[in-house]
Amino acid sequence: MSRVHITDVAPRDGLQNQRLPVDTATKLALIGRLVAAGVASVEVTSFVSPKAVPQMADAGDLLQQVQARWPALRCSVLVPNLKGLERAHAAGAREVAVVLSATEEMNRRNINMGLEQAAGVCEDTLRAAQQLGLRTRAYVAVAFECPFEGLVPLTTVATLAQRMAQAGAGEIVIADTIGAAAPGMVTERLGVLSREIAVEKLAVHFHDTRGLGTANAWAALEVGIRRFDASVGGIGGCPFAPGAAGNLATEDLVQLAERSGFQTGISLSGLLEAIDLAQTALQQTLGGRCIGWLRRQQARAATPA
Ligand code: HMG
Ligand code: MG
């Protein structure tokens, strides 16, 4: 059976933009529930400016504790520049992800650099990370549509993805930051990209703003993509991209993949435990499109026959 690899980005993408502060112990508990559910890869945090993203101020402490507690867990962390890499390395990071947006304005809003400068910083950071022996990922954000510049040309996305591949990125993550993609676009864009970059190196990161997250994931699966980011409970969104709603929910992706004959290694009932914890911490009702069904299943299982 074919395997679908899921990186749960809830502790980073999901928590970075939350109104209520989430302490390190709660983040650890959330990651613990993800691990218990069978999640094998987590984006733990980001080493960004704590002024820009206060929720990630505990990055070093959190990463150290997570790696000590779950040594077999694949842990990646987002780094926007060399300073972020330095901090991540000092905390013992084994895998880092850089973030390059495919438009001028999105880079400025997100990391205060123009597109060319951002591409250069990402290349330098990727090369430095490899010299340190770290695994690497490179996000190409707003790879479909940008909240400031509209539809993003596929040629730009392809050029930037190639640059990240040439700089040695182990994985190139094509990201729909504001959830504007549709399956036809995914088929077209990932089809072109997978002819230029080995499909095993490509991953996708969908936000579910318009309810097309699972449809887009299916289109990516049909192109041959097997690496996906998703966020438990569907939490997530970039604070610097207006209109960025939650990520494709991990439970929806697991449901889609498992019911279509792929293996994820992740248990839906285990994910519910993580959603319950996140709901309490964030004081919000959470869950992807399948949450109603999942809750009914849970209630049925708890009722004696
Ligand atoms: P800047 O102000 O331009 O940086 O911020 P600077 O180089 O001028 O430095 C200013 C201060 O920040 C200095 O400190 C630096 O040392 C410090 P001061 O001298 O004032 O005390 N600094 C840092 N501190 C901690 N960690 C660092 C770091 N770098 C500089 N790494 C910067 C530039 C990139 C730091 C800032 O704009 C930033 O942190 N931005 C946050 C970006 C972010 O986290 N965005 C959300 C994640 S991306 C996303 O969500 C999209 C994604 O999910 C994919 C998708 O959906 O598309 C990945
Ligand atoms: Mg995102």
Catalytic residue check, 238: yes
Residue 279 has pLDDT above 80, yes or no: yes
Mean pLDDT value of segment 149-173: 98
Q: What are the pLDDT digits (tens) for 162-171?
A: 999 999 999 9
Q: Which of 13, 48, 98, 125 to mutate to test the pocket of ligand 1 (most atoms within 8 A of CB)?
A: 48
Q: Measure the N-to-C terminal CA separation of the chain; round to a whole number of Å.
A: 33
Q: Average pLDDT for residues 10-22, to the nearest whole number?
A: 96
Ligand 1 within 6 A of CB of 83: yes
Q: How many CB atoms lie within 10 A of CB 204?
A: 27
Given this model, what pLDDT does residue 106 score?
98
Centre of ligand 1 to C-alpha 281, Å, is 26
Average pLDDT over all residues of the chain: 97
Q: Is 175 in the pocket of ligand 1 (CB under 6 A)?
A: yes
Q: Whose CA is nearest to atom 51 of ligand 1?
A: 238
Q: Is the CB of 112 under 6 A from ligand 1?
A: yes
Q: With contact defined as beta carbons under 8 Å apart, do 95 and 43 qualify?
A: no
Chain center to CA of 290: 20
CA atoms lying within 13 Å on the CB side of residue 298 = 15
What is the model's pLDDT at position 208?
A: 96
Give buried/exposed letters for 50-63 (b at 16+ CB in 10 A, else e): eeebebbbbbbebb
Is the pLDDT score of 305 beyond 80?
no
Q: Which ligand is nearest to the CA of 102?
A: 1
- Average pLDDT over every residue of 291-296: 96
When pLDDT is averaged across residues 173-177 and rounded to a whole number, the result is 98
Q: Is 16 in the pocket of ligand 1 (CB under 6 A)?
A: yes
Q: How far is 168 from 172, CA to CA, in rounded Å?
A: 10
Helix or strand or coil: residue 243?
coil
Quick one: what percent of the chain has pLDDT higher than 70? Answer: 100
Residue whose CA lies nearest to ligand 1 atom number 25: 49
CA 4 and chain centroid, separation: 15
How many angstroms is it from 237 CA to the middle of ligand 2?
5
User: Ligand 1 pocket, 279 CB below 6 A?
Assistant: no
Residue 69 pLDDT: 98
Q: Ligand 1 pocket, 55 CB below 6 A?
A: no
List pLDDT tens digits, range 208-236: 999 999 999 999 999 999 999 999 999 99
d(Cα 27, Cα 21) in Å, to the nearest integer? 11
Homologous superfamily of 5-302 in CATH? Aldolase class I (3.20.20.70)
Q: Rounded to the nearest whole angstrom, what is the distance from the C-alpha of residue 111 to the centroid of ligand 2? A: 14
Domain boundaries of the chain, sorted by first residue: 5-302
User: pLDDT by residue (tens digit) across 38-60?
Assistant: 999 999 999 999 999 999 999 99
Q: Do 39 and 8 touch, CB atoms closer than 8 A?
A: yes
pLDDT (0 to 100) of residue 304: 83
